[in-house]
Structure formats: C-alpha cells, structure tokens
Amino acid sequence: MSSLSGVRPTKGFLIELKRRISFIERGCEFLKLKRDQLAKELSASIEVLRGRRGTLEDQLNRIYDLVVSAYLSLGPAEVGSQASSIRKELAIDVLPVSVMGVLYPRIRVRSKPRVEGRLDIALSRAAELASGIMEELIQIAEFEARVERIADELGKTNRKVNALENIVIPDYKQTMKFIEDKLDEEALEELVRIKLIGGALARRRE
C-alpha cells in the first residue's frame, strides 16, 4: 500500500499520528460549519436576488422601450447630442467586505449623473427611470458578485470537507491501524520471545 510506505511503526509515530488526526478532525468540523454557514448565506442571497431581479428586469425593459422609441422618433444624432449634454458622471467607491473569509465588493455611490433639465421629454423619462434604479442595479451587481464568490468558496469548502472525510481521515486511520497492528504483533512476538527465554532459563535451572 503506497500510503503506508515510509511509515515508521513506532509508538512515537502513532502518538504523532493521533495528534494529527485529532487536529484534522477538528479542522473538518470547522470546515463543515463554514460550509453550512456559506450555504445559508448563499440561499438567502439567491432569494433576495431572485425577487429584486424580476422587478428590475421589468423596469429595464420599460427603459429600453423608451430609449428605442426616442431613437426612432428623434434619430441617432439628436439622441447622441442630448446624451452628451449630461455633464456629471456616475462616481462610485468599491470597498471589500468579508463573509466567512470570502471577500466581495461593496459599492457605494458617491454621485449620480444629473439628468434634470438637460434632456428632451422623450429621453428624460427613460433617464429618470434609469437614474431611479441605478442604486438598485448596483446593489444587484453587488449581490451577484457576492453570490458568485460565496458559491465558489462553498464549492471549494465542500471539496475540502469531502477530501478530508473520504480520503485524508480514512488514510490516517488506516495508517494508525497498521501501526497499532504492527505494534500489537511486535508486542506479541516480544511476549512469546520472553516466554520462550523464560522457559529455556527455567529448563536450564532444573
């Protein structure tokens, strides 16, 4: 057995192995807790995302319809000219936030474009609606990034737990059993040898 090659069947090694397996089992328990917590975070985030995304998609479709009809009635040059009149642009701060060690971006809007008084009515409605959902849109993007990263970390944690539960810990246990068996065998051999020597010495004394 390859995993047993290089194993020193000594009591000291067995004690070291027992210490290690106890540490690994404790780590595995922690990873399981992390996995459960991440799964909980993920399902909560997906719930929020599902609800908000539906509403947002309806609003985005409405905005798209308004922009398309503005293009059809005003022409691309006029729409382009009006769009270029918006001076202030969107400014955001992206900050890292951690959930169970998973980093995801938290976006804070510093300033929004000012559309009032700069656009024709055909475009101003679309711009107002877009401006109204801008923060919601950013929050959705934030949630999507969060869900993506939590799901990624959950997958990694799950693989680690499975590897520990199904490969590492059984391997260690097998090695321990091998050393214990070997030590038992050696102890038995020692006992038999002592008995034999004891018997020989007794026979010589007689």
Partner 1 sequence: MSPGLAYVVVRCHAMRAELIDPETMRSLAEARDMEEFLGLLSQTQYKEIVGEAGEGVSAVALERAFYQKLIERLDRVVRVAPKGMAEFLRAFYYMRLEVQNLKRILRGKSSETSTERIKKHLIPVAPYLSVDFDDLVGAKTMADAVNLLGRTVYAPIKESLGLWEKYDALWPLEARLNQIYVESVQGSLSKISSEDREMVRQIVEVETYVEDMLSAINWTRMAGEQPSLPPLESVFPLKYGTSLRTIKELIEGRDHGDVVKGLGAPYAEIVEPIIVDDVALVRTNLRRHAYEVARDGRARDDFGFPCVMSYLVSCDVERGDLVSIAWGKEHELESRKILKYTVLPGYAP
Residues that bind partner 1 (CB under 8 A): 66, 68-78, 80-82, 84-87, 114, 116-118, 120-122, 124-125, 128
Instruction: Report the nearest approach of partner 1 to the CB of residue 81 (Å).
Output: 4
Judged by beta carbon, residue 135 or residue 185, the one nearer partner 1 is 135
- Which is closer to partner 1, CB of 124 or CB of 175? 124
* Tokens, residue 156: 């990694």
The Cα 132–Cα 122 span in angstroms is 16
Least separation in angstroms between CB 66 and partner 1? 8
H/E stretch holding 75 reads none
Query: Position 68: which residue type?
Result: V
Tokens of 140: 């959705």
Nearer to partner 1, 127 or 154 (CB): 127
Closest separation between CB of residue 71 and partner 1, Å? 5
In angstroms, the CA 51 to CA 100 distance is 24
Q: How many Å apart are CA 125 and CA 86, to the nearest integer? A: 14
- Min separation Cβ 41 and partner 1, Å: 39
CA distance 10 to 96: 49
Nearer to partner 1, 79 or 161 (CB): 79
Least Å distance, CB 131 to partner 1, is 11
Q: How far is the CB of 67 from partner 1 (least distance, A)?
A: 10
> By C-alpha distance, which of 133, 80, 89 is closest to 115?
89
- Taking the least distance from each CB to partner 1, the nearer of 125 and 149 is 125
Q: Which is nearer to partner 1, 51 or 132 (CB)?
A: 132
Q: Six-digit token pair at 44? A: 């909560």
| CA 123 to the chain's CA centroid | 42
Instruction: Give dist(CA 51, CA 40) in Å, integer.
Output: 17
